[in-house]
Amino acid sequence: DIQMTQSPSTLSASVGDRVTITCRASQSISSWLAWYQQKPGKAPKLLIYKASSLESGVPSRFSGSGSGTEFTLTISSLQPDDFATYYCQQYNSYSRTFGQGTKVEVK
Amino acid sequence: EVQLVESGGGLVQPGGSLRLSCAASGFAFASYAMSWVRQAPGKGLEWVSTISISGFSTYYPDSVKGRFTISRDNSKNTLYLQMNSLRGEDTALYYCAEDRAERGYSFEWGQGTLVTVSS
């Protein structure tokens, strides 16, 4: 199975900061990567698919990049609503796997 | 508006069985692959199973293969997950999700149903 590793596990930031989360795959997954946001007590929300495609309705401050084994999710200017946990997920194979999550907390 | 409403969760003893349901509305259920994803208390997301549009193709990780069975009834707009030989590590909130493709990602999610495996 393909393993997904996110870093950091926790990130402390302030409103207005530029935030970057990294996701690494144990083998090449081309661009078959999605990013989700999850808030406490809520279901995950799709942000990005195919590594860099923004899901409809998601603010443009969110962006994704990368291919192969290394990917990033960037929030250009962190907003109060963005404090949450973020997960990457590969779909290069029919056996999907998620990263362990990155919690973005208030600095 | 897309709605995915899970039900069937509860407390079950180790070795027991449970059947989850997910009632879908607001979209063409028979046109989309569907998945189950779970989240143990305080932990991350874990993919559990995916089913094709027709129901003929199903996929599982090794952690549940042979114990869980995903199925769907397109005439009832309902997704199911039959869980047998349950273990403590199966304790989690189980989400039903709508997928863009069998080999893909989930773009709509339900609110989940809690399964607790304990004696």
Residue B45: closest C-alpha in chain A: A98
Contact B24, B4 (CB under 8 A): yes
Question: Is A94 an 8 Å CB contact of chain B?
Answer: yes
pLDDT by residue (tens digit) across B40-98? 999 999 999 999 999 999 999 999 999 999 999 999 999 999 999 999 999 999 999 99
Smallest CA-to-CA distance from B95 within B112, B83, B81, B80 is with B112
Question: Is A38 an 8 Å CB contact of chain B?
Answer: yes
Question: Is A43 an 8 Å CB contact of chain B?
Answer: yes
Res. B9 pLDDT band, cuts 50 70 90: very high
Res B59: pLDDT: 97
Q: How far apart are CA A72 and CA A35, in angstroms?
A: 9
Res. A30 pLDDT band, cuts 50 70 90: very high
Contact: A94, B47; criterion CB under 8 Å: no
Question: Is B46 an 8 Å CB contact of chain A?
Answer: yes
Mutate to test the interface with B, among A91, A93, A97 (most CBs of B within 10 A): A91
DSSP one-letter string for B18-63 = EEEEEEEESS-GGGS-EEEEEE-TTS-EEEEEEE-SSSS-EE--TT
Per this entry, what is the length of chain B?
119
Res A36: pLDDT: 98
Res. A84 pLDDT band, cuts 50 70 90: very high
Residue B99: closest C-alpha in chain A: A46
Res B72: pLDDT: 98
Res. A25 pLDDT band, cuts 50 70 90: very high
Smallest CA–CA distance, residue B30 to chain A, in Å, is 20
Q: How far apart are CA B53 and CA B40, in angstroms?
A: 27
Contact: A43, B111; criterion CB under 8 Å: yes
Question: Is A45 an 8 Å CB contact of chain B?
Answer: yes
62-81 of A, contacting B, C-beta below 8 A: none
Q: How far apart are CA A4 and CA A100, in angstroms?
A: 8
Q: How far apart are CA B60 and CA B56, in angstroms?
A: 14
Q: Provide, rounded to the nearest whole percent, the portion of chain B with pLDDT above 70.
A: 100
Q: Between B61, B104, B110, which is nearest A43 by CB? A: B110
Question: Is A49 an 8 Å CB contact of chain B?
Answer: yes
Res B95: pLDDT: 98
Helix (H, G, I), strand (E, B) or coil at A96: coil
Average pLDDT, integer, range A83-91:
98
Contact: A95, B111; criterion CB under 8 Å: no
Which residues lie across from A23 on neighbouring strands? A6, A71
Res B73: pLDDT: 98
